Chains A and B, each alone.
Chain A
Amino acid sequence: MTKLNRACLFTASVLALASPAFAEVHSIAPGAGAQERLQEALILAEPGDEIVLEAGRFSLTDGLSLDVDNVTVRGQGMDQSILDFSGQQGAGEGLLVTSDNVVLREFGVEDSKGDGIKSKGADNIVYYKLRVEWTRGPHPENGAYAIYPVESTNVLVDSVTTIGSSDAGIYVGQSKNIIVRNSVAKYNVAGIEIENSYGADVYNNLAVNNTGGILVFDLPDIPQQGGRDVRVFKNIVVDNNTPNFAPEGNIVASVPTGMGVMVMSHYNVEVFQNVLAENATGNVLIVAYSNETEDADYNPYPINVLVTDNVHGRAGYKPAFEGGEMLAAALGGTIPPVTHDGNGRDIIVRDNVPVLSLGLSEATQPASEAQPQIADLSGTEANKPVLTAIVLPEAMEAVVKQ
C-alpha cells in the first residue's frame, strides 16, 4: 500500500512538473476576423497556455471573455498591442475574466462601451503593464471602471495606466488581499478606489488630474461589506481637480472636485508617507456614509483611521463641498488640507498641518448643521501604522519579475 501510494505520488509530481512543457503559445494577429479568432483562442486555450497579441490594433465588435484557469494573455506593450472597442456593439465590458490564476500583461484596451477589463470571482489575478483608456478624455458616457477586479481573493495590479473612467480608473471591489502599486491613474473621476474589501496595500502610485485621487469606501446593500485594513502609502496624489463627470446616482458623483485621498465609512485605514498637493478641496477627507440606508448590518462610520507622515503641499483653496467656499473665506481663503466630518471614532491625524472638523455626530446629518472648527486629532506617539503588509502568493509576484 505504502509503496503504491509513493509511486502514485511520484508520478503525480512528475506530471505536475512536466505540465508546463505541454503549454502552448497561441499567437493572434490583428486584422480581419480578429473578434472571432481572438475569442476562439481564449475559449480553446488549455490551462498553462499563453495567448500572444501581436503588435497592432485589434478592431472588436463585441466583448471578449476568458474562462480558462491559468492562462496568460500577453501583448507587445501597452501602446503596441491594442484592443480597440470603439466599434463595440454588445456586452457590458471590453474583456471579462471569470477564471483563476490569469495573467493579463502588456496590452492596451481602448474605448470599451462599458467597463474596460473586469475580472469577477477570478482569484490570483495579475494585471501588469496594461493601459485602459477612453481616448476622448473625461466624459460622462465613458465606461465606469478601467480595471475592475471584483469578488476575488489575491489581486495584483502593477504598472498599469488608466485614463478617462467615468467612475474609477482602478477599482477593486468586494475582494480580499489586494496590492495596487506602481500605477498611473489620470483624468478619471476616481483615480484608484478600494471598496468593500478586506486587506489592501496601495503604494507607489501616481494619481493626477482625477476628480479624486485615491478613495477607500465601504457601502451598504451589497454582498460583502465591512471594508477594513487598507494601507495607502508612498503615493503621489497631486492636482486632482478635474470637474466631477460621473453620472448622478453613482457614489463617486458625490466626491467633491479637488480631492486627494478620501476615506468613507470603513475600518482600519492607514494613510502615510504620501505626497499630497494641489488638491483644491483638500488633501485628505474622512467622512461617514451620509445617505439613508435600511441595511441594519452596515456601519456608516469611519473607525480607526490614521493619517501620518505625509508631505502636504497647497490644498483647500477651492473646497467643492457644500458651504466650503464660505468656510474658506471665513478662514482666510483656504481650509486646512485635512478635513474630518466629525463622525466615527479613533480618527488620528499626525501630519504637521491643521485639521478641520465639521463637528457632525450623525452619519445622515446635513452639512447645514456643521459646526466647523480647527481640531486637534494628533493622538500620541503611540499612534503608528500597525497593519501588516499584504503578501500575495509567490507565483503572482514572480510574474512581474519576468
Chain B
Amino acid sequence: MWRCLLLAAIAAAAQAQSDPAVGRKIFESQCALCHGQTGGGGRGPALNRPKLPRAPDDAALRTIISEGIPPDMPASWQLHPSEVMGLAVYVRSLGALTPEVLPGDPTRGARLYESKGCPACHIVSGKGTGFGPELSTVGARRSAAYLKQTVLSPAANLPEGFQYVAVTPASGPATRGIRVNEDSFTIQLKDSAGRFHSFRKSELRELHRLEKESPMPAYAGQLSPAELDDLVSYLAGLKEKS
C-alpha cells in the first residue's frame, strides 16, 4: 500500500517549494542517526560528497529519500513533498563541504588487509572468499568511524538483518553459521567454510540466536593505532568496483 502512497507523494514533489532550513531540521532529527550530524556518515554512507553514486540527479535523490533502500534505509513517506524537496536541497549542500581527510596510508592498509587474513572471509573486487560481506564498495556505504569501530569490535556494529546462529539438530552435529534466510518453518545457515546448511525448525533441539556475536574476530589489541588508521583508510577508499 505504502509504495503507492509514495508515488503520489513523489509526483506531487515536483510542484512543491523547497526550503533547506526545513531540510536541515529533518536531516538532523531523522537522517543523522545513520548519516552523521553533518552528513559525515556512520552506519549509513557519508553524504558530504559532491557526487552521490545512487543519486546522480535531484529527482533520483528525492526518490531515494522517499522510498529508502531496502533493507538498510527506511522509506520516509511520512514526509510532505515539500519536506522531501527541502531535504534533498540540504543533502546536496552537504556535498559542498570539505571532505574529511583521513589519517593513515591506504597502500599500507591494503597490505595489512592481506597480511591479517581479511581475504579469507571477504571479497574485494572479485578476490577473496565470500563468507562475510563483500567489501568492494564498503567505503561508499560506511563512514571511516564506523569501519574503525567494526574492525575493533565487529559485534558492536552488526549490519541490519545480520544474525549469527547456533543450532543443534535432533540428530546430527551442532552447527554455527550466518543466517542466510529464514521462514516460519525453516532456516538456512552458511558456516565458516562457506557451506550452506538447511534445517527444518521442528527438527532442531536448540536454536540460539547469538545476538551481539559475529564470526569475525575483534582486532582490538591486534593492530597498532597506526596500522588501524592505515587499514581504515584503505577500506574507506573502497568506493567503486575496480
- A and B held together in a complex: no
